[in-house]
Amino acid sequence: MIDKLYLVMFVVSTIFLVWHYDLYDKNLPETLNVALMKALPIVSLVSYVSVANVERIQRNEYKHLLFVFAGLLISSLGDMCLTFPHSLFMTGMLLFAITHCCYAVAFGKRTGGIMTKIVFLLMWISGFMLIQSEVPCFIMKVLILGYSAALCNTGWRSTARFESERTIGAFIGCLGTILFMSSDFIIAINKWVLPIPKCEFISLVTYYCGQLGIVLGTMQIHNDQ
């Protein structure tokens, strides 16, 4: 019952934050209060994962959960950094790249079929080529290359898991990853290629739904996967 309360807290805090973005129709003020408000939904998910997996933790069946925990905690720091895009944008990118690496490990070692590999490889290459052509800074191009690789790797691993298991949990995890990828792609297009109406609103909705999907989709993964 307590774990469900943390899910309710996640939903309420997400709706509150998204409503504020829609109300402002622009970036929220760059303040510590806003940074904490952006991190609150993810902290709620951390609490949910902790409480919902008490028995598994007591049985030492928590290897993959450590990577879920790490991914959530690091992404909450990334959220806070991106509240201050003029000074901490690169730091936020690095933190989210580490987040995706953690999630990729949590999804397991499956590689999927050849078409899955080709699709995500093409997504990585085409996405990078589209965005990097509009980025003047070489260092930022390198960061985008690495970040997009980590992002597509997570998408590949979650999709490979769904191909293998064909379960509801695997589907939810895969869907969550795709939503997370969509959020990042929208942000990148809006920042470097062309403005997208309601970008912050759309990216927040897809981001938080993606995080929820990843958490729910990794709850039943076993340590040997």
Residues 105-142 have pLDDT tens digits of: 999 888 889 999 999 999 999 999 999 988 989 999 99
Torsion-angle region of 27 (φ positive above 0: left; ψ -120 to 50: alpha; else: beta): beta
Length of the chain: 225
- DSSP classification of residue 111: -
Predicted pLDDT of residue 27: 64
Give the pLDDT band of residue 78 (cuts 50, 70, 90).
very high
Residues 3-34 have pLDDT tens digits of: 789 999 999 999 988 887 665 555 667 889 88
Predicted pLDDT of residue 223: 43
Predicted pLDDT of residue 175: 97
Give the pLDDT band of residue 225 (cuts 50, 70, 90).
very low
Q: Decide: 157 and 104 in contact? Cβ < 8 Å.
A: yes
Average pLDDT over residues 158-162: 95
Task: Tally Cβ neighbours within 10 Å of residue 29.
Answer: 9
Distances (CA, A) of 127 to 116, 122, 133, 161: 16, 8, 10, 23
CA distance 45 to 134: 35
pTM: 0.91
HEC string of 21-77 equals HHHHCCCCCCCHHHHHHHHHHHHHHHHHHHHHCHHHHHCCCCHHHHHHHHHHHHHHH
CA distance 51 to 6: 9
CA distance 49 to 4: 10
